[in-house]
Amino acid sequence: MKTKTRKRKARGVRRSRDGRRGRGAPSTDGPRYQQVANELIDGISVGTYPVGGLLPTEMELCAQYDISRSTVREALRKLRDVGLISRQRRVGTKVLSRAPTASYRQPTNSISDLLQYADDTRVEILSKKRLVCDPALADQLECRVGRAWLRIDSLRTIPDTPNPICMTTAYIDGRLPSLERNLEGNHGPISAMLERTYGVRITRIEQSIQAIALGKRQAKLLKAEPGSPALLATRRYYREDGTLIELSSAVHPSDRFTYVTSLVRG
């Protein structure tokens, strides 16, 4: 009687004769998709997959790593979330950067938190323009028609990282003296500068956050993909007398910023 012996295909890590992992064999640490993601990140960092080039297709990655398509997609999502790739139908998976994009976490538990940014961020002012409110802008800024405001467009960055963490449009009460001069060299939040320089006290901040898709101009300035998800954070800063002193709208690519709120029951 003959005994049939089935040979099972080995699904473990492929190794060369010297014991090192061969190409197409992710490390054995963590879930399968994370192993593949780590292998692809390594390949991008050393130039195997150059910036501007395309990664292998989903089916090619399935064959290379002997994994399912859903596992490939989860691995690619990890790369996209850290800003290494972009994905587009009929184009493929494009490599955007050799290193993961920096992400900034900001606590939002108090007015003091909202008045401060980390010391290691920097502001690049793109433009400054004095405006006189028409009815639509006056309604937005809660003032009478004809009031003067200063509009500032800026980018905020973390030194030594390739991509900005946000772009901001701010409106500041134009009646404040020497406003443009006092903004020069200011790298921190405008609201903190207003308190420090003009002796005003901000006693109330209203903040709203909504999900948006990046427009072409926003994407270009932020070095992101047009139509990619982002957060729009709008803040209104009020003085003790209840009047608005600043309105800011900051656009954050979704993978570069996290708001952290801690609520404690008394």
List of domains in the chain: 32-95 (1.10.10.10), 104-260 (3.40.1410.10)
Can you read off the two tokens belonging to residue 130?
């004095």
CA 91 centroid distance within chain: 24
Q: At residue 112, does pLDDT exceed 90?
A: no
Confidence category of residue 101, pLDDT binned at 50, 70, 90: low
Confidence category of residue 109, pLDDT binned at 50, 70, 90: low
Pairwise CA distance, residues 259 & 266, whole Å? 22
Q: CB–CB of 191/111 below 8 Å?
A: no
Which comes out higher in pLDDT, residue 28 or 45? 45
Please report the pLDDT score of residue 162 as a whole number: 77
Output the pTM of the full model: 0.59
Pairwise CA distance, residues 133 & 130, whole Å? 10
Can you read off the two tokens belonging to residue 86?
């972009």
Return the SS3 of 258: strand
Return the SS3 of 114: helix
Look up residue 15 and give its DSSP letter: B
Please report the pLDDT score of residue 111 as a whole number: 58
Look up residue 116 and give its DSSP letter: -
Can you read off the two tokens belonging to residue 76?
């690619």
Strands (E), the chain: 85-88, 92-95, 104-107, 122-132, 148-157, 166-173, 202-213, 229-239, 244-253, 257-260
Which comes out higher in pLDDT, residue 55 or 34? 55
Pairwise CA distance, residues 214 & 221, whole Å? 10
pLDDT digits (tens, 9 = 90+) for 135-181: 999 999 999 999 999 999 999 887 777 789 899 999 999 999 999 99
Q: Which residue has the tokens 């957060």?
A: 231
Q: How many residues does the chain have?
A: 266
Task: State the DSSP H helix or E strand holding residue 99, giving kind and residue range, or none if neither.
Answer: none
Return the SS3 of 161: coil
Given CA atoms 77, 78, 82, 86 in this order, what sign does their dihedral have?
A: negative
Please report the pLDDT score of residue 263 as a whole number: 65
Confidence category of residue 103, pLDDT binned at 50, 70, 90: low
Pairwise CA distance, residues 192 & 111, whole Å? 11
Can you read off the two tokens belonging to residue 64?
């290379």
Q: Across the chain, what does the average pLDDT equal?
A: 82
pLDDT digits (tens, 9 = 90+) for 184-215: 878 778 888 999 999 999 999 898 999 999 99
Can you read off the two tokens belonging to residue 252?
């954050």
Confidence category of residue 121, pLDDT binned at 50, 70, 90: confident
- Exposed/middle/buried for residue 216 (C-beta within 10 Å: 0-12, 13-18, 19+): exposed
Can you read off the two tokens belonging to residue 217?
């101009």
